[in-house]
A and B are shown apart, each in its own frame.
Chain A
């Protein structure tokens, strides 16, 4: 079993760029795809990045994802920050030896 570690919170100003990390505790980050979900207060989560770096239709290209095998981590980068990007962001992956899915602890993004 592995864990996904995220920073508890990040903050940045409108128009700037922020990166949220997601570090896998054991096993290779590249062994199974990483997804990113956005959850605004009072709402259900929505997918913003899937399969490491793919954007669903309707998600602006300000959102991008990547993985880095050297640090065994995935990253979500949001550029041109807007106030409505303020939300909780969760990374998620799966255990390729079972049917188990894993979420990171979530990162609260504040745009101020």
Chain B
């Protein structure tokens, strides 16, 4: 059974940094692309970033480009999202999602999310 467990969320002041992690199990991690998707409570889903199986292809939403960095450690089955220069508008529930293919595909499994709160 695929399991994705996010961690690292919390309360942070504007301008500060946070690092989110996603621990994956139940599948061969280095065979699949991985993504981060966020959701403000009561609002819609927003794709944040994605990374191919070998980190050869990476993409970011315009809203986070230059501030967030996605990475993965295939030896440890971990996905990361480094959040720098955080803004109030980055406050959301951040989901880790598994891609259905090594490069892209759809999001076929999701974690439960980790909450990021940005406030002074």
A binds B: yes
Nearest CB on B from A78, distance (A): 18
Judge whether B106 and A99 touch: CB under 8 Å.
no
Partner of B107, one of A33, A35, A99, A104: A35
Nearest CB on B from A105, distance (A): 5
CA distance A45 to B110 in the complex (A): 7
Q: How many residues of A contact B (CB 8 A)?
A: 25
- The reply to whether the CB of B57 lies closer than 8 angstroms to some CB of chain A is yes
On whether A47 and B108 interact (CB within 8 A), knowing A99-B57, A100-B59, A100-B61, the answer reads yes
Judge whether A50 and B100 touch: CB under 8 Å.
yes
Binding site for B on A (CB under 8 A): 1, 33, 35, 37, 39, 44-47, 50-51, 56, 88, 90, 92, 94, 98-106
Binding site for A on B (CB under 8 A): 35, 37, 44-47, 50, 52, 57-62, 95, 100, 104-108, 110-113
Closest A-B pairs by Cβ, 6 of them: A99-B59, A101-B47, A44-B110, A106-B44, A35-B106, A50-B106
